[in-house]
Amino acid sequence: MLVWYRKGSLALGALVFVWIVTGFDMNGRSVWIKDPNLSPVNETQMFLYDTFPPEFLWGVGTSAFQVEGSQRKDGKGPSIWEYFIQSPLRAGSMTDDDSSDSYTFLEKDLSALDFLGVSSYQFSISWPRLFPTGVVTAVNEKGLHYYNRLLNSLLHRRIEPVVTLYHWDLPLTLQEEYGGWKNESLIDIFSDFAMFCFKAFGDRVKYWITVHNPYLVAWQGYGTGIHAPGERQEGAAVYTVGHNLIKAHARVWHQYNKYFRPHQKGFLSITLGSYWIEPNHSKDASDITKCQQSMQATLGWFAKPIHGDGDYPEELKSKFASILPNFTKAEKNHIRGTADFFAFSFGPNNFIPQNMLPKMGQNFSLNLREALKWIKLEYHSPRILIAENGWFTKSSVKTEDTTVIYIMKGFINKVLQAIKYDKIDVFGYTAWSLLDGFEWQHAYSIRRGLFYVDFNSKEKERIPKSSALYYKQIIQENGFPMKESTLSFQSRFPCDFFWGMAESVIKAESAASSPQFRDPNLYLWNVTGDGLFRQVKGVQLKTRPAQCTDFVSIKKQLELLSKTKITHYRFALSWSLILPTGELSSINRQVLRYYRCMVSEMIKLRISPVVTLYYPTHRSLGLPGPLLQNGGWLNQSTIQAFRNYAEVCFQKLGDLVKFWITINEPNRLSDIYNNSSNDTYQAAHNLLIAHALAWHVYDEKYRSFQRGQVSLSLHSDWAEPANSFIDTHRKAAERFLQFEIAWFSDPIFKTGDYPVAMREYLRHKNSKGLSRSALPHFTSEEKKLIKGAADFYALNHFTTRFVIHEAKNGSRYEFDRDVAFLQDFTYLNSPSRSAVVPEGLRKTLNWIKKRYGNTDVYVTASGIDDHSLNNDELRKYYIEKYVQEALKAHHIDKVKIRGYFAFKLTDEKAKPRFGFFTSDSKAKPAVQFYNRVISSNGFPLEPSENVCDSPMEKAPCALCLSLTLKGPLIFFGCCLFSTFLLLMSIILFHKRKRRKWYWAKNSQPVCTPVKTRYKNVLNQM
């Protein structure tokens, strides 16, 4: 533990120290202490693909009042809830026909259990159905027969019953005559009822629950009044009710332990419910203390007496000393340890109403795993049964409850993580609930069932929702077994594989930024303190012609590229800089020289250029001003302008550039041309023709001697049905791919025309009056021009979208598709909520192969935003997993993937941060990781020397690269150093001459002959 904290910040260390010296035990509080160095891609924090223990109890639950119905049938007595909901103060009302009527349709419930394949079923016994007045006298035989029939049917199906004695439906008579749970007399009455149930049913029941969620019984029934009996009283009454419920539970546990456990061999507990809460500031001790107090005020209120030391939490005792009842020493001993396992409820009822919960200024969370860790630490690692878990939908949702699937998936996986990583002993999970039913204060305004029930129908059929299908799958697979997409894959790419980095538009400098090497004069600066340069007369330096590295931005780019091991670098030219007016008469030759310099210097580093001619973004169309003013891509004159621009680039740079991208992501220009769908489709139409013209220019005039290749790059994120059990979602996902990718790729790689499915869907919407959209038509000549106008398939892939069908009315591109997107937070997500779904890349590559044949494919951009500047673990994880999926596509699926370009080289100054280098040119750790992947040419089984290195070629040494890149600076330094030596030599010469002259003038004897003295002086000089 001490070692773990040393890795954290000083603030965390101080926090721990404060707790130690102030006497606080760590226990549950330690759950909120987070390691600041914990990686966002740490496997213990990510979705876990694994299975549950073999004997794990997969269950589902209901409660009597919510689903049984038949409230006045066969001698059943009224409960407090029937009276409560029929009050004129309540919005809801209820009749015999409103519920799922499980009392009448028991066989349908049993069929639903068979469908799911559960191993346990949690239900409650209706106290007033067995004893209409609540007092155990003569039992209602028809009610007794119903529960015997239910239990026998469960055992016949080998389904373990988990039986709750009290799930909130107190007989009305006990409320009217005794005041309900405020009266201590109910302890004896409830004990009698429990004893009867043990005798009648205990031979078939292994797991008993005394009370379901006593916190809600006390607080919502007697405090807020939103539950029956609807009393709104001061805190004293609330805590009295809780006090009596604890003692009633303990009494029943001891009776079972003494009289029934020896021969029935069962287990008994009480279901305790809670939310989870996170501090506003994880390093703030006061915020963490508030979280601890909040948990103690809800879960600890009942858990500490029963699962702890027999008494209330100190936080409650100190805060509510005047109204909280006291346990005697004998009562503490009687209550302590009266649970054979910890039954835990974690559902929406524990989170509402939020304004009435002891939130203490902190944040509610659905992190079930953290709540389980808190229970383990506070109560000494008990065995835990998740006795209630699930979520809800609006009443209007019938069977397509996709969001419930995502929430269920997250909850169950958190339980699995708790078992595998935290060693928490969870032995069962109960999904809530089996059927739609009466939802307490919400009545029928929400639904929580796995099976849909039409409450207005006579037969009350149980129709499985998507969540039922999903839960059935989890039960069958016993969790989340490893998928092929989650398995690592070791292999290499071919030696000619392109390992690249992608960048957006590089803005050219109009003139070199280093002119000093063309001036032969030497200057001294600030000699007299005036800040001026003064020429050193008589000193002439060697000059040289201007060099490409005199451009500061090129030098900076090369310095960054030299730190990578990429073989190719993709960047975009600026059309508006090369041809400011869009006309050939306005060619900016200085800008072309800059780009030629950029390319030639890259080649010296043995990095091949992949050049994009046109790179529009949602911020800027990137068109020359006059073209933009004339309508941009809605004006057909832009087509010819682009063709001319492309030819200029082929002429001036084509001898150096062998891979061209004409247009980057033309299928994303719908974000700009969005006034109407017809604008969108016309702009796309013109873009396709412009690309085709550029390709044909290259093919007819330059390919024969430049021997390059040309294509365009399409944004190609994968689409998954948000709910794989719903046919409309599957169709929506395929429709998204048609409208997003095939829209451009079908004309080029398949038919010369737009996808048939796209045209047919638009015609269908037009016939229904839902849209006026229409795709333009290509002439026969245009179809011939466009079909086959690409030498390879280039795609930009970043994430996977989870798609649902959502009918939309209107003539806009995004409405024509009839799709909407959901976010599945069980996947790892970037700060901008881009999901990390590596298998999506492989599925995209296979979709392309299936649709367009086995053409060469290049992933020309793929990356993720990662806010970290010093430890971009998310980016490293992304690169590793996505490259592995590309490897699978190549080796297993035989897709001809020829290259992978990571996006992008440098961060923009504003977020999101996609760069491998910061905006101030500092390398992030992902650079070294990507270099290792490139050096290994993938992920070989055993690291070894790169087998692709040619023995006849040697990589340029680092010193040589440094000398090449920093040559001008080194030259300038040498000049300064030479000048310094020259000046020092002159100074020393004159100083020495002066000294000799002075010595000769004053030396003795004065009678030395003149000729001799002159000779000696000359010799010395």
What is the per-residue pLDDT across 662-690, written as a single tens digit (0 to 9) for each? 999 999 988 889 889 999 999 999 999 99
Q: What is the pLDDT of residues 868-927, one digit of tens each?
A: 988 999 999 999 999 999 999 999 999 999 999 999 999 988 889 999 999 999 999 999
Predicted confidence band of residue 477 (pLDDT cuts 50, 70, 90): very high
Judged against a pLDDT cut of 60, whether residue 14 lies above it is answered with no
Distance between CA atoms of 55 and 57, rounded to whole angstroms?
Answer: 6
Judged against a pLDDT cut of 50, whether residue 1006 lies above it is answered with no
Residues 454 and 531 in one domain: no
Give the range of the structural domain holding residue 932, as residue numbers without chain letter: 498-512+547-950
The more confident residue out of 954 and 212 is 212
Residue 1 tokens, joined: 């533990």
Ramachandran sector of residue 101 (left: φ over 0; alpha: ψ -120 to 50; beta: rest): left
156-160, 528-532, 834-838, range with the lowest pLDDT: 528-532
- Return the SS3 of 73: coil
Judged against a pLDDT cut of 70, whether residue 827 lies above it is answered with yes
Are 146 and 129 in contact by the 8 Å Cβ rule? The answer is yes
The Cα angle at residue 90 between residues 86 and 96, in degrees rounded to 5: 35
Whole-number percent of the chain with pLDDT over 70: 90
Residues 816 and 862 in one domain: yes
* 28 belongs to a structural domain: no
pLDDT at 546: 73
Judged against a pLDDT cut of 60, whether residue 1003 lies above it is answered with no
Number of domains in the chain: 3
337-341, 614-618, 653-657, 942-946, range with the lowest pLDDT: 942-946
pLDDT at 539: 80
Distance between CA atoms of 280 and 283, rounded to whole angstroms?
Answer: 9
pLDDT at 12: 36
pLDDT at 891: 96
Are 719 and 736 in contact by the 8 Å Cβ rule? The answer is yes
DSSP 664: E
Residues 419 and 503 in one domain: no
Can you name the residues that pair with 524 across neighbouring β-strands? 534
DSSP H or E run through 240: helix 235-255
Are 681 and 697 in contact by the 8 Å Cβ rule? The answer is no
Residues 850 and 940 in one domain: yes
Q: What is the pLDDT of residues 759-813, one digit of tens each?
A: 999 999 999 999 999 999 999 999 999 999 999 999 999 999 999 999 999 999 9
* 1 belongs to a structural domain: no
Single-letter amino acid, residue 199: K
Judged against a pLDDT cut of 80, whether residue 950 lies above it is answered with no
Secondary structure E strands in 746-813: 793-796, 800-805
pLDDT at 969: 59
Are 674 and 773 in contact by the 8 Å Cβ rule? The answer is no
Judged against a pLDDT cut of 50, whether residue 21 lies above it is answered with no
pLDDT at 37: 82
Q: What is the pLDDT of residues 204-244, one digit of tens each?
A: 999 999 999 999 999 999 999 999 999 999 899 999 999 99
pLDDT at 234: 86
Predicted confidence band of residue 16 (pLDDT cuts 50, 70, 90): very low
* 39 belongs to a structural domain: no
Q: Of 914, 886, 918, 920, which is closest to residue 900 (Cα–Cα)?
A: 886
pLDDT at 1001: 55
The Cα angle at residue 738 between residues 736 and 742, in degrees rounded to 5: 135
Predicted confidence band of residue 949 (pLDDT cuts 50, 70, 90): low
**Burial class for 789, CB neighbours closer than 10 Å (0-12, 13-18, 19+):** buried
- List CB contacts of 853: < 8 A, sequence separation 6 or more: 749
Taking the alpha carbons at both ends of the chain, their separation in whole angstroms is 79
- Return the SS3 of 696: helix
pLDDT at 911: 83
Judged against a pLDDT cut of 80, whether residue 978 lies above it is answered with no
* 841 belongs to a structural domain: yes
Residues 856 and 972 in one domain: no
The rounded Cα 1011 to chain-centroid distance in angstroms is 98
Q: If you write DSSP's letter for every residue of 397-457 in order, what string do you get?
A: --S--HHHHHHHHHHHHHHHHHHHTS---EEEEEEE-SB----GGGTTSEE--SEE--TTS
For the chain, state the CA radius of gyration. Answer: 39
- List CB contacts of 773: < 8 A, sequence separation 6 or more: 677, 678, 681, 762, 765, 766, 811, 812, 813, 816
Residues 970 and 880 in one domain: no
Residues in the chain: 1021
- List CB contacts of 176: < 8 A, sequence separation 6 or more: none
The rounded Cα 247 to chain-centroid distance in angstroms is 46
- The single residue listed with the structure tokens 């994120």 is 717
Residue 180 tokens, joined: 């309900």
Distance between CA atoms of 103 and 67, rounded to whole angstroms?
Answer: 8
Q: What is the mean pLDDT of residues 345-355?
A: 88
Neighbour tally for 567: CB within 10 Å: 17
pLDDT at 970: 66
Residue 709 tokens, joined: 């290749």
pLDDT at 17: 35
Predicted confidence band of residue 999 (pLDDT cuts 50, 70, 90): low
65-79, 81-95, 576-590, 935-949, range with the lowest pLDDT: 81-95
pLDDT at 728: 97
* 214 belongs to a structural domain: yes
- The single residue listed with the structure tokens 């009448």 is 104
Can you name the residues that pair with 356 across neighbouring β-strands? none
284-293, 860-869, 996-1005, range with the lowest pLDDT: 996-1005
| HEC-encoded secondary structure of 718-751 | EEEECCCCCHHHHHHHHHHHHHHHHHHHHHHHCC
Distance between CA atoms of 188 and 198, rounded to whole angstroms?
Answer: 15
Distance between CA atoms of 891 and 894, rounded to whole angstroms?
Answer: 5
* 434 belongs to a structural domain: yes
pLDDT at 29: 93
Residues 561 and 519 in one domain: no
Judged against a pLDDT cut of 70, whether residue 98 lies above it is answered with no
Residue 198 tokens, joined: 């043990």
Residue 181 tokens, joined: 């749970």
Judged against a pLDDT cut of 50, whether residue 820 lies above it is answered with yes
Of these ranges, 255-269, 899-913, 995-1009, the one predicted with the greatest mean pLDDT is 255-269
Residues 181 and 319 in one domain: yes
Residues 436 and 507 in one domain: no
Distance between CA atoms of 350 and 272, rounded to whole angstroms?
Answer: 10
Can you name the residues that pair with 57 across neighbouring β-strands? 428
Q: What is the mean pLDDT of residues 310-335?
A: 96
Residues 930 and 980 in one domain: no
Q: What are phi and psi of 268, to 5 degrees?
A: -135, 140
Predicted confidence band of residue 34 (pLDDT cuts 50, 70, 90): confident
* 944 belongs to a structural domain: yes
Q: Of 861, 960, 174, which is closest to residue 498 (Cα–Cα)?
A: 861
Q: What is the mean pLDDT of residues 491-498?
A: 96
* 135 belongs to a structural domain: yes
Judged against a pLDDT cut of 80, whether residue 449 lies above it is answered with yes
Residues 564 and 702 in one domain: yes
Judged against a pLDDT cut of 50, whether residue 160 lies above it is answered with yes
pLDDT at 968: 57
Across the chain, what does the average pLDDT equal? 90
pLDDT at 963: 54
103-107, 200-204, 281-285, range with the lowest pLDDT: 281-285
Is the pTM higher than 0.75? The answer reads yes
Residues 783 and 799 in one domain: yes
**Burial class for 943, CB neighbours closer than 10 Å (0-12, 13-18, 19+):** exposed
Burial 965-980 (b: 16+ CB within 10 A, else e): beebeeeeeebeeebe
Q: Which CATH number fits the domain that encloses residue 354?
A: 3.20.20.80
134-143, 407-416, 546-555, 840-849, range with the lowest pLDDT: 546-555
Last residue of a domain, one of 905, 923, 950: 950
pLDDT at 944: 62
Are 415 and 386 in contact by the 8 Å Cβ rule? The answer is yes
Q: Torsion over CA of 80, 82, 87 and 88, rounded to 10 degrees?
A: 170
- The single residue listed with the structure tokens 């915020």 is 287
- Return the SS3 of 923: strand
Cis peptide before 515 (omega within 30 of 0): no
Predicted confidence band of residue 3 (pLDDT cuts 50, 70, 90): very low
Judged against a pLDDT cut of 60, whether residue 8 lies above it is answered with no
Judged against a pLDDT cut of 80, whether residue 1014 lies above it is answered with no
Q: Torsion over CA of 795, 797, 802 and 805, rounded to 10 degrees?
A: -20
- List CB contacts of 640: < 8 A, sequence separation 6 or more: 693
223-237, 721-735, 975-989, range with the lowest pLDDT: 975-989
